[in-house]
A and B are shown apart, each in its own frame.
Chain A
């Protein structure tokens, strides 16, 4: 139900969403000289740092390609969380004075980040192809599933953006809390490492590891890696499948709670 509603709203307000996405992207890139380049350079630098320090500190490496995939995917989610947080509070003027479906705001922030992510994927795949070529390897056949993984990732990010947008109206200190939670989440998600790093813990606490893959971020990043790189397997356990379904459930919940919360937005801003 919620999904159908959301889909209809997306169709009816197509032009508004297009405009808001364009506004978001234009204003993001107009301010800086390098513009769009920054959104690619940042994760590349991050990937470089992780590769370097992980080798240095842990003494064992994760393939550079895996880290690049992890960092780009993580960046997409982190930007949606942060963007979602200010989607309503940052547009208080608009929300208080003009009526339009409020859900358009977190939605367009997420879509703007999607555009950004898709563009950065081009660069990401160019680099990965070069790296694979140097090792004499080829990209995985399952890469045809990429759109499906992106869609799942998008659903998850949209749910987060909606939660954040609503929560930040009611509790304006959400952003401080989220800053901390986001860095904790970064470490429990396989961004700069992969699932093989948690195998040792898996042997000791099996329950914990099965829970580990319920984290949609762990599943999504691993899925990206599994469909792109040869030699990365997706753990087809019940918990991992649950992690795949969870974003859909979250989206419905997020949409419902956002719709309920929006009645008071004008009063709380």
Chain B
């Protein structure tokens, strides 16, 4: 059974000038004759998909690609221009937490109001009220007007109400980034809880790591089209490849004197195949070809790895590894071996550099240039693989 079904879904927006529409404006346009149409654009076009019940789907894509419009259409706050979207079950959307909170009312009054807007019966709210307050961590502030709340408190209360509603389908639009770390962890716990209960989740995020971690499937949306759908690592890699790395949208940098240049870089697995997806615990090879335009004494080759979120994982070079290269001139190749690859799963960026022995001259550096994906083939969890063993002894 499908929880969400979209058929040829499309949303067209009329391009409007600055400011809100006015009767005066409409009249003057009518008097001037044509020219009332300033054009339109498709925020979403011909999107079809099915999400079976119990699946978690992450939506990724650059800013302005139509992700939020998609969520709005599923939530029915936006009416489609063409096509249709059908949903089965109660929807709760975390599109804007605390939307509908009234600043003058207390937290308590707002909980009941917000729950009513989401369609929860007053009796249910009363039963779960303590839960909601506990989850939001606002016990001592609950009778204070929410206009005195901090933005974090606002979001916490909104989230608490929305998840306590016990929806069948939960829509999340990049809202979890607001709370502090402790609250984010609580939210992720709650999301896992939802997944265990077989609820359907659709969530938009720029935190690719979270999409990796939580989703069974990922959608890639670009210019209003559903470009790819499938296994999160593959879709994310496609996204990164097409719109991020290699001078793409993401913050990538390339600099240096170019006295030595990278000519070709290939990431290979243990079978020597050029791949984008590697498996945890297996070797990873990076074959780097370079061209030195002049003779360079004692160059240093370096690399570093960051996660998709920019977390610096590891960095080293031939100097640190005590593998000095005497001199280079013309073309040559270097092989970097990482064996075993102790990254567990997710999206990573490889940066490469060539610089002088005293770090004074940067010949060529490509920052966050090469994306790759690691798939976890073990049963363990986490970001890194720690070589661990157990030892058990019974009795005293």
Give A residues with C-beta under 8 Å from B.
15-16, 18-20, 22-23, 26-27, 30-31, 91, 93-100, 170-174, 177, 263-264, 266-268
Q: Are B79 and A26 in contact (CB under 8 A)?
A: no
13 contacts between A and B (CB under 8 A): A15-B116, A23-B102, A27-B105, A94-B100, A98-B95, A98-B96, A99-B77, A100-B119, A173-B22, A174-B23, A264-B79, A266-B72, A267-B13
A15-B121, A19-B112, A171-B26 given; name 9 further pairs at CB < 8 Å.
A18-B116, A23-B102, A23-B113, A93-B96, A94-B100, A94-B117, A95-B77, A99-B93, A267-B79
Q: Are A98 and B77 in contact (CB under 8 A)?
A: yes
What B residues does A20 contact at CB under 8 A?
Answer: 113, 116
Give min CB distance, A11 to chain B, whole Å.
Answer: 14
Q: Are B22 and A98 in contact (CB under 8 A)?
A: no
What B residues does A170 contact at CB under 8 A?
Answer: 21
| Smallest CB gap from B22: residue in A | A173
Q: Are A94 and B21 in contact (CB under 8 A)?
A: no
What A residues does B20 contact at CB under 8 A?
Answer: 172
Give min CB distance, B325 to chain A, whole Å.
Answer: 58
What B residues does A266 contact at CB under 8 A?
Answer: 72, 77-79
Q: Are A31 and B117 in contact (CB under 8 A)?
A: no
* A46, B76: Cα distance in complex, Å: 45
* A18, B113: Cα distance in complex, Å: 9
Q: Are A31 and B104 in contact (CB under 8 A)?
A: yes
Q: Are A173 and B23 in contact (CB under 8 A)?
A: yes
B75 within 8 A of A: yes
Q: Are A15 and B122 in contact (CB under 8 A)?
A: yes
How many B residues, CB 8 Å from partner?
32
What A residues does B22 contact at CB under 8 A?
Answer: 171-173
| Smallest CB gap from A91: residue in B | B100
Give min CB distance, A254 to chain B, whole Å.
Answer: 18
* A15, B116: Cα distance in complex, Å: 6
B91 within 8 A of A: yes
| Smallest CB gap from A177: residue in B | B23
With A93-B99, A171-B22, A263-B79 in contact, is A19–B116 under 8 Å at CB? Answer: yes
* A19, B110: Cα distance in complex, Å: 9
- Which of B75, B117, B118 has the most chain A CB atoms closer than 10 A to its own CB? B117
Give min CB distance, A83 to chain B, whole Å.
Answer: 15
What A residues does B95 contact at CB under 8 A?
Answer: 97-98
| Smallest CB gap from A104: residue in B | B117
* A16, B100: Cα distance in complex, Å: 12
What A residues does B164 contact at CB under 8 A?
Answer: none
Q: Are B104 and A27 in contact (CB under 8 A)?
A: yes
What B residues does A94 contact at CB under 8 A?
Answer: 99-100, 117
B213 within 8 A of A: no
- Which of B23, B24, B116 has the most chain A CB atoms closer than 10 A to its own CB? B116
Q: Are B119 and A16 in contact (CB under 8 A)?
A: yes
* A94, B100: Cα distance in complex, Å: 5
Give min CB distance, B104 to chain A, whole Å.
Answer: 5
| Smallest CB gap from A30: residue in B | B104
* A266, B96: Cα distance in complex, Å: 14
B327 within 8 A of A: no
* A96, B14: Cα distance in complex, Å: 17
Q: Are B122 and A99 in contact (CB under 8 A)?
A: no
Q: Are B105 and A26 in contact (CB under 8 A)?
A: yes
* A93, B91: Cα distance in complex, Å: 18
* A143, B379: Cα distance in complex, Å: 80
Give min CB distance, A30 to chain B, whole Å.
Answer: 5
| Smallest CB gap from A12: residue in B | B119
- List 8 A-B pairs, minimum CB-CB distance, nearest first: A171-B23, A172-B20, A263-B79, A97-B96, A19-B116, A173-B22, A99-B76, A16-B116
* A29, B357: Cα distance in complex, Å: 75
What B residues does A23 contact at CB under 8 A?
Answer: 102, 105, 109, 113
Our pick among A97, A173, A174, A177 for the contact of B77 (Cβ within 8 Å) is A97
* A95, B77: Cα distance in complex, Å: 7
What A residues does B26 contact at CB under 8 A?
Answer: 171
Q: Are A26 and B104 in contact (CB under 8 A)?
A: yes
Q: Are B23 and A93 in contact (CB under 8 A)?
A: no
What B residues does A264 contact at CB under 8 A?
Answer: 79
* A22, B122: Cα distance in complex, Å: 14
What B residues does A91 contact at CB under 8 A?
Answer: 100
* A121, B99: Cα distance in complex, Å: 35
- Report B56-84 CB contacts with A as 1/0, cut-off 8 Å: 00000000000000001001111100000
